Structure 1
């Protein structure tokens, strides 16, 4: 069936929780390409406007001589609106630039981060990277919203002397008042939640211009809570309800849950999770072995769309065997997250899933299933999804954007030949609009009354330091299967850096569900670069068999598998092999540079 994604991996043995309905049937989806200004090399799509007839996009004009209008305001990176209903603005164009020509007095000290645009539910503001664009009390889609009425303000986080890092990929709560974001430090990635407060005349900080301050900040972690994996004496314990927000990816449609990439539940399987803002209850949204990342909920809170590598087999060689506890992930998680890309090329496609997530044999539906896979078709595998997708407010449309594979991810020494673009003007990017053809318009659910202070989080005042997190002690441990067997585990640490550098596991009839049994061993050693914290080298040795309802194996070549990868570059460089076989289907690692 081409409508519904059918995984060749085994079905999850988990019983559906009470109140979780049977998976939905596949539905008819029609996909078209939206018009864009020519000569725009890159872009990011964002949310729909409240009217459902416009979407926001960040584009970069080449310059006045080749821009669609001779005026010099059409240059550089700008925020535009695009008509989705086939109409035009008064200029005759199907798009309108919101940030072009804004007087300098109305746009002072803008932050250079101008990506991931999101239009506020009130329709009068837009989050543009680390800036807020507004048109006063005039809707952004209105012809009355002219450049002289637009103001663009930077977002300022008065962190003081703390070591919280630089905010990235900010997301606005549906109440238009609260924000969520992530930040990297030398100690890793943390996520935060706070309020937007307009400051017309700042008297402190390094940015003394009208700005939006992030105040009442919460660190989305409880230093007194449990870690996902902990040692208790000689035993290992896995806590699936541990709140550990990795990369924050937004909010549910109602705003009652925070969406994020969380700790792996199965070895090397990167998934999306939701945690309730008040109760701290965690839900696993995706479980397919492929990589899921950007996510957006429908405004009625009943569906989400995610960009995912499922169907490409990009990650199956390392994560295709299900039901392996995430023990080696203590050292492999960066590599697992990095191998999803080949440099700038992602292997994402949009996947539609109901609010209850992957379960049983249900792994959602490809939004762009229709087509013959040829060049330029909706399901052309050489056109890959980017961030972020979005639902129209009435739930009948989904917007997402794609980019075409280009050198060095194709051509030259790469085994993939570079395709010829069929897009207008030979563009290597496109914005796609999917119509959920059988759906009737729905009303958004009421926006959740989000608190200023999250009960399970930690208040993070300006000048505060990040709290100490759980540090895994080195040693030998046992993890007992919930149904049977044991996983004997050895953890070795670099005591100087206080980091785990090697994990080895020996499985003996290990099973959590009484249907999938693990036997064999796996050992992975991690070496970090002294000069580049993003550069990982791992030495991997695996010989695992799975019996029961699934017959599978995960094996490295006799000399082991040795991978070097930079998390910022995502270029695959390996020696040796790591191969996963599931019920006779063989998944091999990508070739170097592919």
Structure 2
């Protein structure tokens, strides 16, 4: 994967070694518009601070950076962010190597810092095409703040940006202006009285945000998504830190245990609800702010997709349907396009999720394992794609943004230079991490309710609900068009450890019919690590002929979802119209 790093704009993208990524599933294709024409795409690399060969004292020499504005590490921990409101700058966080022995101001270029990079080929007054915004901020201006990790996001005033659980604030000066000097910059923590927060996303109205919080339930990691308002408190009297901070108030948990769930029990029958509002990992908001985007519960077995839910009505829109794994995404300012980071085109997940039309039954216990196979440790397999509002349909699975190039090392489509979250659109819709089109007029933001009607208002100390799940037992799952499945759920009464399913002429779409059996047993080794013992003998007939089969001894997978390196033995083979897909050797 190499030691080089790359920032690029497609007329924007963040690339580097491991830096860099619909309608209801039953919507009729004949009522959707045809796929859009292919868009022209131009990719331009953006400059970064010079890279020091080591982190040793003196490694950032005058030859490397005659301006003495610092060097970044070979492993820069680069996190690409959003455009600033003018569309001529993008922000990012990056790890400076520093040189403690160097005279000021070089010694302030140390650790994780937020920078702004010009996208129009011009430079700042000192001659650099980039500016470090947080280097040299006095300690008293960042009391209570945390390291500037995660992907920075700019506010529309151009004077503030969020990085991790902090807000970088330059008062009345724009972040990129000469007036924004280190002594004027404050780094304020973001505080929520109910606990820690992560994966924060600014709503387009710039006064609300979405965020996630992790929890432990039934011996495994879980998470909930939330929506709230941010307010500045210059003199807090409760909680830590008791220093000026931004606070999250009027919080709604975007999960209601009393609402319809993706899989439910009704009598002795299992029922799947593809339109259930089941917010999983929060990904952000649509361009107008009308919808929240997230990775949701699978609609098809082992197929991890992105969804959008209307913040007022809760109506769900399935953004992707391709069987490969999708995660980071951003929707254009006018809501008509999305840029996604997806493993489609790499065949990374096809051995597991390529067979279509399997109900999400084994996913009651396998989702964390199947999603973790998307990476190989720090190596991502994401590729950036452009899709229109109506999403995947028929043979249309979007347009690969970085398709140009000859595939050689260092080319824009070098398969070893995979994408890393998060892709972003420019305010006028002419640039993204990879794409340009006719400029948009400024888009109005949809007014959203203060408390989300389909969620649950949250106060400090409220107990977390347990996500409802079917109890152990034997159930019937009827196909929406024909056939049925016998589903046996085995567990200790509080958790399910084994799911065994037998399909009998089962069809949800009336086009393909599913036959055969599948069973999975999960052994939880720790909060984040599990072992799956998988036995599958499935095949389908109809428009597509496919199968998913394990060897006689089954397929056995052990993986830690926080590390994404798995150990596997046995065989699992998925065949789709003659194309054969097999799992990578131990995650490579």
**How does the TM-score come out when normalised to structure 1?**
0.88
- The alignment partner of 2:140 has SS state of helix
**Partner of residue 297 from structure 1, selected from 305, 312, 331:** 331
1:66 Cα deviation from its structure 2 partner: 10
Identify the residue that residue 457 of structure 1 maps to in structure 2: 455
Shift of 1:387: 0.8
Q: Which residue of 1 aligns with 2:3?
A: none
Contact 1:45 1:56 in 2 (8 A): yes
Q: In the alignment, is residue 184 of structure 1 matched against residue 214 of structure 2?
A: yes
| Contact 2:557/2:566 (<8 A) preserved | yes
Matched, 1:380 2:385: no
1:53 aligns with 2:53: no
Runs of 4+ in 1 over 2 A off after TM superposition: 64-70
Which structure 2 residues correspond to residues 531-542 of structure 1 after superposition, within 5 A?
532-542=526-536
Structure 2 residue 332 is matched with structure 1 residue 273: no
Task: Give the equivalent residue in structure 2 for 1:506.
Answer: 502
Supply the distance in 2 between the matched residues of 1:23 and 1:175 (Cα, whole angstroms). 31
- Using the TM superposition, give the Cα deviation of residue 572 of structure 1 relative to its aligned residue in structure 2, in angstroms: 2.0
Distance 1:27 1:117, change over 3 A: same
- Counting only pairs closer than 5 Å after superposition, residues 551-566 of structure 1 correspond to structure 2 as 551-566=545-560
Alpha-carbon offset, residue 239 of structure 1: 1.2
> Which residue is 1:76 aligned to?
111
Partner of 1:118: 153
* Partner in structure 1 of residue 173 of structure 2: 138
Q: Cα distance, 1:551 vs. partner? A: 0.7
How much does 1:137 deviate? 2.2
Deviations 1:218-274 (CA, angstroms, capped at 9, x unpaired)? 100122211110011111111122111111010000011000000000000000000
Q: Shift of the alpha carbon at 1:13? A: 7.7
Take 1:550 and 1:218, find their aligned partners in 2: how far apart are those partners?
43
Taking the TM superposition and a 5 Å limit, the aligned residue runs for 1:6-405 are 14-16=27-29, 18=31, 20-39=32-51, 40=72, 41-64=76-99, 71-112=106-147, 114-159=149-194, 166-187=196-217, 188-399=222-433
Residue range with higher mean Cα deviation, 145-154 or 255-264: 145-154
| Aligned position for 1:416 | none
Q: Are residues 585 and 460 of structure 1, via their aligned partners in 2, closer, same or farther at CA, if it must alter by over 3 Å?
A: same
SS of the aligned residue for 1:76 comes to strand
User: How far apart are residue 70 of structure 1 and its match?
Assistant: 6.0
Match of 2:482 among 472, 481, 484: 484
Q: Deviations over 1:75-102 (max 9, x none)?
A: 1000000000011001100000111111
Give the 3 Å change call, closer, same or farther, for CA 17–242 of structure 1 in structure 2.
farther
Contact 1:44 1:57 in 2 (8 A): yes
Query: Could you say what secondary structure the match of 1:546 adopts?
Result: strand
Instruction: Provide the rounded CA distance (Å) in 2 between the counterparts of 1:272 and 1:87.
Output: 37
**Counterpart-to-counterpart distance in 1, 2:395 and 2:576:** 15
Following superposition, the deviation at residue 480 of structure 1 comes to: 0.8
Q: Aligned in 2, Cα 1:233/1:17: closer, same or farther, shift over 3 Å?
A: farther
Contact 1:289 1:315 in 2 (8 A): yes
Structure 2 equivalent of residue 430 of structure 1: none
Report if aligned partners of 1:67, 1:75 keep a CA contact under 8 Å in 2: no
- Determine the C-alpha separation between the residues in 2 that align with 1:338 and 1:225: 28
Distance 1:548 1:564 in 2: 34
Distance 1:384 1:458, change over 3 A: same
Secondary structure class of the residue paired with 1:390: coil
RMSD: 1.6
Q: 3-state SS of the aligned residue for 2:149?
A: coil
| Runs of 5+ consecutive residues of structure 1 not aligned to the other structure | 1-11, 160-164, 400-433
Corresponding residue SS for 2:283 = strand
Output one character per residue of 1:560-594: Cα deviation in whole Å (capped at 9) or x when no partner.
00000000111121110111000000000010141
- The match for 1:444 is 442
Q: CA deviation at 1:154?
A: 0.3
Q: Secondary structure at 2:467's aligned position in 1? A: coil
How many residues align structurally?
537
Contact 2:114 2:148 in 1 (8 A): no
Instruction: Show the counterpart of 2:472.
Output: 474
Checking the alignment, whether the CA contact within 8 Å between 1:475 and 1:491 is kept in structure 2 is yes
Residues 413-433 of structure 1: CA distance to partner in whole angstroms, max 9, x if unpaired?
A: xxxxxxxxxxxxxxxxxxxxx
Separation of aligned partners in 1, 2:129 and 2:98: 19
Residue of structure 1 in register with 2:537 after alignment:
543
**Structure 2 CA distance for partners of 1:66 and 1:50, relative to 1, 3 Å:** farther
> TM-score by structure 2 length?
0.89
